[in-house]
Amino acid sequence: MSSKGALSGLKVIDLSRVLGGPFCTQILGDHGAEVIKIEPPQGDETRGWGPPYNDAGIAAYFAGTNRNKRSISLDIRHEEGKKILLKLLEDADVVVENFKTGSLEKWGLGYDDVLSKKFPRLIHCRVTGFGADGPFGGYPGYDAVIQAWAGLISINGSPDSGQVRLGIPLVDLGTGMNAVIGILMAVNERHVSGKGQSVEASLFDTGIQLQHPHAANYLMSGNAPKLTGNSHPNIAPYDLYPTRTTPVFLGVGNHGQFTKLCASLGEPDLAKDPRFADNSLRVTNREALNEALNKLFADKDGVEVATQLLAAGVPAGAAMSVPEAINHPHTRHRNMVVEMDGYKGTGVAVKLSRTPGSAKSIPPSFGAQGRDILKEHGFDDGEIENFVSDGVLWEQPK
């Protein structure tokens, strides 16, 4: 098996900060791309999003999306900084950025006017909040802000809790994944055309895309979704059930699974109840079904019964805490926690049989590889010292 990864040979210049862009480039780096992270003089904002911090002062938030990269800090608004960036782009395949729309153009680095002409094979990926055009075009966006505008907060929560922000930055993460998909589509198309192109992945578009099944339900029925808590609007039983210990979530998608559920819980006749004969009836009679299931789960150990149900072919999950999930034997078996040189992070989710991805280098300190990167691209020590004294190249204070 190759240890280099499926994207070995792909050079990526990462101008992005915060989450969507860096998550995208970390995935590319995990699979072998060379990623040079260019940070502004003040650094990626997430370097300060803590605690916790490790012994080197790197925030966990930053560390979670910036392994397998080398860091250089440039002021690309400075003429010399622009020249350095253009030098780095000469043999690059991809540039990823999430500046406010129009910023690169203002600095004389726009894709259409400059970069595509200088580097016809370059693939430009822009991660934005709301996209570059439209009524909100160019506006800034953070994950929770987009959750609100895209309607995601409106469908998350229960009638008792009211609307609740999703507990993970799903829109940012999804946008990063969409950016990866878009970049690889463009790389594939370039094999035919020999030309690069611009890829846009916006948080708003991703937020709307992720509105499944609520958007599909509304577009077909015309009825606005309601808060349903843990239950699913289209499926039953699809809910969280209390046990003697850890609650258990059921995701029963067909009648065969429902029959196995009832048999495994020692109540096979429940599957024959005419109120629960198919999914539509179970959704209609959800309250009665949940009452029956709550009684069956009440005296059970959550982890034990969920494990037994899985083995019986019933989709069931014990509602584990983050530490429990991270340390679960299956998590460790799937190599979904990586540890190296004092760094700990989540593993590589996409498994390739011949060219697997891997964590090869720890998240970099601010500007740590700047001098090395410049030397590799033909700059000598004297030029580099001038860049530092002129405020073009920034390094972490010693």
Residue 360: C-alpha distances to residues 35, 37, 95, 341, 348 (Å): 12, 15, 21, 10, 11
Measuring CA to CA, which residue among 257, 260, 240 is closest to residue 249? Answer: 240
Which single residue is written with the structure tokens 């509602």?
A: 319
Helix (H) / strand (E) containing 309: helix 302-311
The residue written with tokens 């502004």 in the block is 40
Separation between Cα atoms, residue 124 and residue 40, nearest integer Å = 19
Q: For the chain, state the CA radius of gyration.
A: 25
- Report which residue type is found at 111: Y
Check if the beta carbon of residue 240 is closer than 8 Å to that of residue 228.
no
Peptide bond into 52 cis (omega under 30): yes
Neighbours of 285 (CB within 10 A): 18
Taking CA 287 as the corner, what is the angle to CA 278 and CA 249, rounded to the nearest 5 degrees?
80
Q: For residue 12, what are its two tokens?
A: 């990526």
Count Cβ atoms below 10 Å from residue 198 Cβ, excluding itself: 17
Any idea which residues carry the catalytic annotation? Answer: 172
CA distance 187 to 191: 7
Contact 375, 77 (CB under 8 A): no
d(CA 126, CA 191): 21
